[in-house]
Amino acid sequence: MMKKHAVKAWTSICLASLLTACSQGSGYSDLDQFMAETRSKPRGFVEPLPEFKAYEAFTYSASDRRSPFEVPVEVQLTMVDEQPQSDIEPDLDRPKEVLENFQLTELNMVGTLRRADGSSGLYALIKDNAGGIHRVRKGNHMGQNYGRVVGVNETRIELIEIVPNGRGGWVERPRSLSLDEG
C-alpha cells in the first residue's frame, strides 16, 4: 500500500514538472523588450589600433673612441716637424704589479690607511672591478698605461702615466683618482 502511494506521488511530481517546463513563460516580456530596444539602437564605433613604426636597430660605430661618460683627459701635444728627442719611455723590464691589469676607470679609491707610528707614510685603498681591495702608496704602479703613483693624500691619488705621443715616442700624462664617497 505504501508502495502505491509512493508511485502516485512520484508520478504527480514528474507530471507537474513536465507541465511547468513546457508551459510558455510570460515573465520575460520586460527582458525581451529591453533586448529589442538595445538591438534597435545604433552600434558604437571602435577606433582602429594606431600603426607603429617598425624598430630599426642601431649599430654603435664609435666604440673605439673615448666614452662620453668619462671625463676628457687633456693632453697637450705640439705638432712640430722635427721630432724632439725624449728619454721618456716605460720600463718594460720591471715586473708588473697587480693593479696594472686594470684600466684606471675600473679602479676606485675607497679610503686610506696610516700606521700608528707613522713610519711608512699613507696608504690608499683601491677597489678593483672584481671586488678586491689593494693598498697603494707613492712609488707603486697602477693602470694599463704604466701609471706611477707620485702622491697620496686622504682624498686623492696623483699618478703619472706614460702614453704614446702618436709620433713614435712617449709622453707623460698626469692623472688622478679621487676618493669615492659612495
For the segment 143-154, the average pLDDT, to the nearest whole number, is: 90
> Residue 182 gets which letter from DSSP?
-
The answer to whether residue 35 is domain-embedded is: no
Q: How far apart are CA 140 and CA 159, in angstroms?
A: 10
Integer Cα distance of 149 and 160 in angstroms: 7
| 160 within a domain of the structure (yes/no) | yes
The contacts of residue 109 (CB under 8 Å, 6+ apart) are 124, 125, 126, 127, 156, 157, 177, 178, 179, 180
Is 17's pLDDT higher than 60? Answer: yes
pLDDT score, position 13: 85
Residues 94, 179: contact at Cβ < 8 Å?
Answer: no
Q: Which comes out higher in pLDDT, residue 118 or 52?
A: 52
Does 135 map to a domain?
A: yes
Domain that includes residue 126, residue range: 101-178
Residue 123: what are its φ and ψ, rounded to 5°? -105, 140
Q: What is the pLDDT of residue 150?
A: 92
Give the pLDDT confidence of 69-93 residue by residue, as tens digits. Answer: 877 777 766 655 555 566 788 888 8
The answer to whether the predicted template modeling score (pTM) of the entire model surpasses 0.85 is no
Yes or no: say if 149 and 109 are a contact pair by the CB < 8 Å rule. Answer: no
> Rounded mean pLDDT of the chain?
82
Give the total number of structural domains in the chain.
1
CATH number of 135's domain: 2.30.30.830
Cross-sheet strand order for the sheet of 156-164:
141-142, 147-152, 156-164, 170-178
Q: What angle do CA 25, 29, 32 make, to 5 degrees?
A: 115
- Domain for residue 53, yes or no? no
The reply to whether 172 falls in a domain is yes
Domain membership of residue 46 (yes or no) is: no
Which position has the grid cell 694599463? 144
**Phi, then psi, of 29 in degrees rounded to 5:** -65, -35
Residue 156 counted as domain residue: yes
- Residue at 158 is within a domain: yes
